[in-house]
Structure 1
């Protein structure tokens, strides 16, 4: 029955039930939070619009129109931006969704001061406050029902997604993972600070990384966050080595996973593969990319990357992002369409 429902959803997406263009707006969140970028259906004509290093074909500040009455919140990766998820947003908007993307504090493309467990602690509540911000906005609130919201996260955003799906984790869990697997999962543990090269300074790098990790991340208090409005979740190449996998054995809502087997940043056997082993058959593998790397889900991809950031996000040999990602986005959209049934904009209308 589930496969049939997904097939129907995919047919609907492919047949063009919704022909609206994609609007782009920015709304303020709670005090202390960054802005929330919103993509949404509009009948206004799109124009090439520059945002950071990207040119998007959108109707900036276009008038929103009613779609399917559902909201999906997207949590970006460390140092991330809304623009690298614009193609996924377009797929969702064409299916009638409104898409909201919070800017995670001190872990975004404008401010990268504090990635890792400190950010992971704050992110789930930032997602909840992004939902609140959309619900306060006079343009979008009348078009949406907030009883069933979708949530998508990639990389560090995938960590956020797993937390909202009912997973629990601790900074001490991160420390324990890195103590045991520092060499094999080095970039996951140290980020963009440095890398192992096989040279004479590798020993010093490992010693320094362990020193910092042990000093900063020894708190064993479980981190958890629940938002009852969130009713379906997708985690793409999630950071997840610090989770108590038993807490993900029975996700609290439908949970979909997207994996990339050539991910050298979040090595699958420590991250996505462990999640799948814990939650199947109570979660779903939406898509696996055998030749995809860590940045495979970013679309449009960031241009002209080099060094460590290029190693993380550029495509491995043999991966064709242009042919793979549209299908992954369609499957992701079908997952949300299946689990977040369309509702009338009229709050008094029956389900």
Structure 2
């Protein structure tokens, strides 16, 4: 269980946030403005010796400028002053081998709704270091989310500007596994093993990641033998894995890896839980993962969106440039018929509205 220390949530912090908001409103009136200026996207990052880079997106009135991060052409105001928002923090848990950049469009939508957004780098399971994906990473990820909350609340830029007891968490894919852990889900490496041994052919990508695929060729038999042998030897630990951070009050999980959770642990989620399904997901086949969670928790969780034409990559925006013919492209590229331009903004809006509903109300 995560124990919160040194982060006061009492009347003093509330009064400081209230006075900050009132001061900003008063300055607007003195300047003769009738409505707030539109918010832009601010960005700053910090580097930690063991936790790596943590990225922060936040409301600002400063002008944005073009930014380049790897293959991504982005835009934000770097290290700009914070503008008053809604006083709430959202943590985004990226997918396996991920980066903050593939969630920039969601971060922007959340910021335009007034949220501050933090994206931790999950150790051993990110684009720069992908040595320990899967259960080894999943054990550490929830604590990394809690650490990101600690860091954000302690930063001078955000100090006393955020309610420390009303935090949201969004995650997709492996990040969705993290999100489910934050709302009371209990899993174990042995449950991962059992799922994969029973369903290896039907859910091969979930169990083996981007290492290889079944092609219907003569090598499939050898691939299946090696996969079963590797999974059996590596994932025998039956220790239940659980994490609790009482500051987290709302969670959204999109296309999560979820087959290793005890469904009973999510039958009554600890906090409001929204689920987003991509019906054509071939990376985490829905019937083994999100559909099993929905069967356990509905109507005590929210079926936030079911996207009939979407694949696993619908959680990514902007979409990374996949190498043509690569396993990543095969598993995450948009299926024919998916209207990304129309659908992804709607996904982001639904997520922001879910967090508004569940974090802004008393």
Secondary structure at the aligned position of 2:306 is classed as strand
Number of residues of Structure 1 aligned to a counterpart in Structure 2: 327
Partner of 2:228: 210
Shift of 1:107: 0.4
Contact 1:18 1:94 in 2 (8 A): no
Partner of 1:27: 46
1:181-207 Cα deviation digits (max 9, x unpaired): 000000100111111111111111000
Contact 2:59 2:82 in 1 (8 A): yes
Partner of 1:345: none
Would you say 1:115 and 2:133 are equivalent positions? yes
1:215-253 Cα deviation digits (max 9, x unpaired): 000000000000000000000000000000000000000
Aligned alpha-carbon RMSD (Å): 1.3
**TM-score after normalising by structure 2:** 0.88
Partner of 2:306: 288
Structure of greater Rg: 2
1:55-95 Cα deviation digits (max 9, x unpaired): 11110111111100000000000000101111111110000
Secondary structure at the aligned position of 2:253 is classed as strand
Secondary structure at the aligned position of 1:166 is classed as coil
1:6-56 Cα deviation digits (max 9, x unpaired): xxxxxxxxxx97721000110245x51122100000011001111121111
Partner of 1:309: 328
Shift of 1:305: 3.4
In 1, Cα distance between the equivalents of 2:54 and 2:201? 37
2:152 corresponds, among 118, 134, 145, to: 134
Contact 1:71 1:144 in 2 (8 A): yes
Secondary structure at the aligned position of 2:43 is classed as strand
1:187-202 maps to which residues of 2 (within 5 A)?
Answer: 187-202=205-220
Shift of 1:105: 0.2
Would you say 1:83 and 2:130 are equivalent positions? no
2:165 corresponds, among 138, 147, 151, to: 147
Unaligned runs of 5+ in 1: 1-15, 343-350
Partner of 1:337: 356
Would you say 1:256 and 2:274 are equivalent positions? yes
Would you say 1:320 and 2:339 are equivalent positions? yes
> Cα–Cα, structure 1 residues 177 and 57, in superposed 2: closer, same or farther, change >3 Å?
same
Unaligned runs of 5+ in 2: 1-34
Secondary structure at the aligned position of 1:174 is classed as helix
Secondary structure at the aligned position of 1:269 is classed as helix
Deviates further, 59-68 or 249-258: 59-68
Contact 1:27 1:36 in 2 (8 A): yes
Contact 2:322 2:328 in 1 (8 A): no
In 2, Cα distance between the equivalents of 1:83 and 1:236? 17
